[in-house]
Structure 1
Amino acid sequence: MHLRFTEEELGTLVEMVSLAAEVASWNERPGAEEGLSAYEALEDKVLEKAKHAGLGEHVHFDEEKQRHHLSPEFQDGSFFQQCYDEFRNESFWEELVVRLADRDLVRVIGMPAWQKMSEEDRRAQTRDIEKRYWDEFSKNGIDRVAVIFPHVEG
């Protein structure tokens, strides 16, 4: 198969492949190595082709890892880095809100009852709690978050 890209399209493809490889690199589940290797191999192949097709100043070769990668300067201003940073930020807040709301629900109804609920039912039960957490974090970030250790832990 042969594909032809404009320089702009090639730049977009480079960013898309790099974004996918970056996200995949966070997968630490057992058995993920094969999928990650496939993503990294494709990223290396696309970056190598891009290097020879006019994007050489943005693509570097890592001798130690024997892989191509995008220069830090290119990554810093890239759309894919903005997407990645935004994804991580939103995922953090979403996960924090859901976990705290679920913790609060468990305290009220107990773990056995919580475990019997579907995810949809949990979200319906915690909608107001989640809104309260979203409002708090939107206004104050984590400034007012505190961890209270049990007295036996010091």
Structure 2
Amino acid sequence: MHLRFTEQELATLVEMVSLAADVASWNRKPGSDDGVSAYDSLENKILEKAHNTGLSDAIEWDEEKQRFQVKPEAQDRSFFRECYEEFRNESFWEDLVLRLSDRDLARQIGLANWEKLSEEQRRERTADLEKRYWDEFSKNGIERVAVIYPPSEG
């Protein structure tokens, strides 16, 4: 198969593949190694081709890792890095809100009853809690979040 790209399209492809490989690298689920490896391999192949066809100013060979990579300064100004950071940020806040809301609901109705609920039922029952947490974190970030240790742990 042969594909033809403009230099801008190739740069966009490099960013897309790098974004996918970065996201895949976070997968720690048992059995995911082959999938992560396939993403890394394809990224390296595309970066090598891009390096050899005009994007050498943005791509370099990493001697230690024995693979091509997008240069850090190119990553810093790339759209894929912006997307990646935004994804991580939004995922953090959404996960925090959902986990705290689920924790509060489980405390209210008991863990056994909470486990019987579907995800949709949980979201219906935690809508007000979620809104409250979103409002809190939107205003204060994690500034007012505190870990309270049980007395037995000091």
The normalised TM-score by structure 1 is: 0.99
2:137 alignment partner, SS class? helix
2:95 alignment partner, SS class? helix
Question: In structure 2, what is the Cα distance between the partners aligned to 1:31 and 1:106?
Answer: 31
Question: In structure 1, what is the Cα distance between the partners aligned to 2:39 and 2:52?
Answer: 20
Question: In structure 2, what is the Cα distance between the partners aligned to 1:33 and 1:100?
Answer: 31
Question: In structure 2, what is the Cα distance between the partners aligned to 1:53 and 1:115?
Answer: 55
Question: In structure 2, what is the Cα distance between the partners aligned to 1:24 and 1:105?
Answer: 32
In structure 1, the gaps of 5 or more residues are: none
| Aligned residue number for residue 97 of structure 2 | 97
| Aligned residue number for residue 72 of structure 2 | 72
Per-residue CA deviations over 1:67-112 (Å, capped at 9, x if unaligned) read 1000000000100000000000000000000000000001110001
Question: In structure 2, what is the Cα distance between the partners aligned to 1:137 and 1:31?
Answer: 35
| Aligned residue number for residue 23 of structure 2 | 23
Q: Aligned partner of 2:70: which letter?
A: L
| Aligned residue number for residue 81 of structure 1 | 81
Question: In structure 2, what is the Cα distance between the partners aligned to 1:88 and 1:3?
Answer: 32
Moved over 3 A (4+): none
The size of the alignment, in residue pairs, is 154
Which range moved further: 56-65 or 104-113? 56-65
- How far apart are 1:32 and its partner, in Å? 1.0
1:149 alignment partner, SS class? coil
| Aligned residue number for residue 145 of structure 1 | 145
1:74 alignment partner, SS class? helix
* 1:44-55 matches, cutoff 5 A: 44-55=44-55
Per-residue CA deviations over 1:10-56 (Å, capped at 9, x if unaligned) read 00000000000000000011111111110000000000000011100
| Aligned residue number for residue 11 of structure 1 | 11
Q: CA RMSD in A?
A: 0.5
Using the aligned pairs only, state the percent identity.
68
